[in-house]
Chain A
Amino acid sequence: MTTSRAYYWMVLPALLLFLVFHTVPVLQGFYYSLTDSPGYGSYGFVGLRNYANLFRDDRILDAYLFTFRFAVVATVLTNALALAVALGLNARIGFRTALRGIFFIPNVLAILIIGYIFNYLFANSLPAIAQALGITALSTNILADPGLAWLGIVAVATWQAAAFNIIIYLAGLQTISDDVREAATIDGAGAWRQFRSIVFPLIAPFFTINMVLSLKNFLQVFDHIVALTNGGPGTATTSVSLLIYSGGLEGGEYAYQTANAVVYFLVIVAVSAFQLRVLQRREMSA
């Protein structure tokens, strides 16, 4: 009896803190989303009006479009590059440990600070190099171009996130025994064929983890944007997270942006669940 009482005491403080700092804010969020609170002072209950307005607001629509376009492209690019680098690291190369160590570096660096460094590179170094080489498309700051700025954010996000995915793919590749690949080579399977029919199916679970985590993280993009464009030029690179932050805290739209956050939460859960299902089904059939 005393044993089980000890177990209750072990979880009770954590449960209380979690209730106070996580569950209560979630419920408060839902509650405020039904009001017209500007974040301070008195407010009234407005039902679902905030939600109805969200769907008519071009700013919100643009933020979702940008966030999805960015997240999908960055997820695909990050995973394609990470898989290619992991395959290279797993092949018969020299200095493997040192190279693996280098590729992982971006994962330990603060995204915000990396963003500031790349901000300077995009604004000054890249145009200087492009002018010297006569590439007119890159001879100006791409972050100042409403049509191209998002690609700069994709580049920095990919640079930083690939580090983590490379390590995961490499761990997956190392679970494949040499015998399997040797047998395939003896059977006359070429490199691409081996990858398609043997290697990729065997690392499919790692692919699933990486795709789901990458997309979930990229959909919440914030630090990169603060450091690179702060949502601009204009509102060309305003992500949903940034809009919730700036509108909710500085724009007097506390209740409205809380409603936006609720919708955003549902979108992220739906996307993750959908992705998990599709990718796991493919794992089965592969």
Chain B
Amino acid sequence: MLSRSVNPWLTALMAACAMTVLVPLYFTVVTALKQPAELAGAGFDLPADPQWGNFATAWRLTDYPRAALNSALITVGAVILTLLTNSLVAYAIARNLHRRLFKGLYFYFVSALFVPFPIIMLPVIKQTALLGLDNQLGLILLYVVYGLAFNIFLYVGYIKSIPRALEEAARTDGAGTWTVFWKVIFPLLAPMNATVGILTFLWAWNDFLLPLVVLSSPSARTLPLVQYVFQSQFATDYTTAFASYLMALAPALLVYLLAQRWVISGVLRGAIK
């Protein structure tokens, strides 16, 4: 009975540990609101007079709306296309694993998990430039295609657990394979769709290397890429830099705060599958 009660010391210790996460975020917020003259010392004190203008400066300097729009476009495009296509491919594979061809396809896609990106990086840069895909569209396509390896692994495991009886009922009613997938299977995949959607979102939104090497036009730059490009201009102006960092981190933080339970359970389902 006694062991059921809350341990206050341990709670305090865990709260102290949680500070290691919160303090850098707090630091980012206060630095973004300071005047350059206030930056001396450790810098953990509150700003004397919050400089909201820092955000306006960063907004103009980095052309925030454009970068945010690029990031949003690429992320949303990658998530939607990934959900619609990867689940479909996985369905065809999962229902035909007894055939040698589809079993081979399964291992072919999943084996890509072991190929580190640097080995294909240099050829992919040439290829996307050659095909005119060194832009947002090309990036969406690459996320959808490179996601196949892990997503097929997730979806196939999940689809195998869906009883075939559900599909056969629809088939006897005259539905074809495509209809069966969209009307019967796809809605049943909702939990896995949530997982794949969240993982794809976090990947595409936060990615740096792929946009760095694929995108050629400055107008196509994503939020992380903009921070990289503007480092030299930020060099002496840390308050503007931190305002810019905070604006770049804010959308993902906001989405996480609103859908915390969902995000954590989605990530978990993907890792423990």
Evaluate contact between B109 and A249: CB separation under 8 angstroms. no
Contact of A125 (CB < 8 Å), options: B27, B120, B142: B27
Interface contact tally, CB-CB below 8 A: 247
Asked whether any CB of chain A lies closer than 8 Å to the CB of B10, the reply is yes
Decide: A7 near B208, CB < 8 A? Known: A99-B18, A105-B253, A109-B253: no
* A268 to B115 Cα, complex, angstroms: 8
Which B200-224 residues have a C-beta within 8 angstroms of A?
202, 205-206, 208-209, 213, 223-224
Asked whether any CB of chain A lies closer than 8 Å to the CB of B112, the reply is yes
Task: Return chain A residues, CB-CB under 8 Å to B248.
Answer: 110, 113
Which A91-136 residues have a C-beta within 8 angstroms of B?
91-95, 99-114, 116-118, 120-121, 124-125, 128-129, 132
* A54 to B86 Cα, complex, angstroms: 39
Asked whether any CB of chain B lies closer than 8 Å to the CB of A76, the reply is no
Evaluate contact between A117 and B253: CB separation under 8 angstroms. no
Asked whether any CB of chain A lies closer than 8 Å to the CB of B89, the reply is yes
Evaluate contact between B105 and A99: CB separation under 8 angstroms. no
Evaluate contact between A223 and B209: CB separation under 8 angstroms. yes
Evaluate contact between A94 and B11: CB separation under 8 angstroms. yes
Which A8-65 residues have a C-beta within 8 angstroms of B?
8, 10-11, 13-15, 17-18, 20-22, 24-26, 28-29, 32, 39
* A206 to B242 Cα, complex, angstroms: 37
User: How near does chain B come to A30, taking the closest CB pair, in angstroms?
Assistant: 9
Evaluate contact between B127 and A24: CB separation under 8 angstroms. yes
Binds B, one of A138-146, A194-202, A238-246, A277-285: A238-246
Contact of B119 (CB < 8 Å), options: A21, A85, A103, A265: A265
Evaluate contact between B177 and A6: CB separation under 8 angstroms. yes
* A240 to B102 Cα, complex, angstroms: 36
Task: Return chain B residues, CB-CB under 8 Å to A124.
Answer: 39, 42-43
Contact of A113 (CB < 8 Å), options: B146, B181, B245: B245
Decide: A39 near B122, CB < 8 A? Known: A88-B10, A108-B202: yes
Evaluate contact between A171 and B263: CB separation under 8 angstroms. no
- Chain A's closest residue to B22 (CB) is A102
* A125 to B26 Cα, complex, angstroms: 13
Evaluate contact between A112 and B92: CB separation under 8 angstroms. no
Q: For A11, A100, A168, A269, which residue has the most chain B Cβ atoms within 10 angstroms?
A: A11
Decide: A29 near B122, CB < 8 A? Known: A15-B105, A113-B248, A168-B271: yes
Asked whether any CB of chain A lies closer than 8 Å to the CB of B249, the reply is yes
* A14 to B255 Cα, complex, angstroms: 30
Task: Return chain A residues, CB-CB under 8 Å to B21.
Answer: 102-103, 105-106, 159, 163
- Chain A's closest residue to B18 (CB) is A102
- Chain A's closest residue to B13 (CB) is A88
Asked whether any CB of chain A lies closer than 8 Å to the CB of B117, the reply is yes
Asked whether any CB of chain A lies closer than 8 Å to the CB of B165, the reply is no
Evaluate contact between A18 and B145: CB separation under 8 angstroms. yes
Binds A, one of B1-9, B47-55, B60-68: B1-9
Evaluate contact between B209 and A10: CB separation under 8 angstroms. no
Asked whether any CB of chain A lies closer than 8 Å to the CB of B103, the reply is no
Task: Return chain A residues, CB-CB under 8 Å to B95.
Answer: 7
Which B179-210 residues have a C-beta within 8 angstroms of A?
181, 202, 205-206, 208-209
Asked whether any CB of chain A lies closer than 8 Å to the CB of B56, the reply is no
Decide: A88 near B118, CB < 8 A? Known: A110-B249, A113-B248, A121-B24: no
Question: 30 interchain pairs (CB within 8 A)?
Answer: A11-B92, A18-B112, A22-B120, A29-B122, A39-B122, A88-B13, A91-B10, A92-B3, A93-B10, A95-B11, A99-B18, A102-B22, A105-B21, A108-B206, A109-B206, A110-B252, A111-B206, A113-B227, A125-B43, A167-B268, A206-B272, A220-B116, A220-B117, A220-B118, A245-B209, A258-B119, A261-B116, A264-B116, A265-B116, A269-B114
Besides A10-B88, A94-B6, A121-B24, 17 other A-B contacts (C-beta < 8 A)? A11-B105, A22-B115, A25-B120, A85-B14, A89-B14, A91-B7, A92-B10, A103-B17, A113-B248, A125-B43, A129-B42, A132-B42, A171-B268, A171-B271, A222-B208, A241-B116, A268-B116
Top 3 A-B pairs, shortest CB-CB distance: A6-B177, A25-B123, A10-B92
Measuring CB to CB, which residues of chain B are less than 8 angstroms from any residue of chain A?
Answer: 3-8, 10-11, 13-15, 17-18, 20-22, 24-25, 27-28, 31, 39, 41-44, 85-86, 88-89, 91-93, 95-96, 102, 105, 109, 112, 114-127, 141-142, 144-146, 148, 176-178, 181, 202, 205-206, 208-209, 213, 223-224, 227-228, 231, 238, 241-242, 245, 248-249, 252-253, 255-256, 260, 263-264, 267-268, 271-272
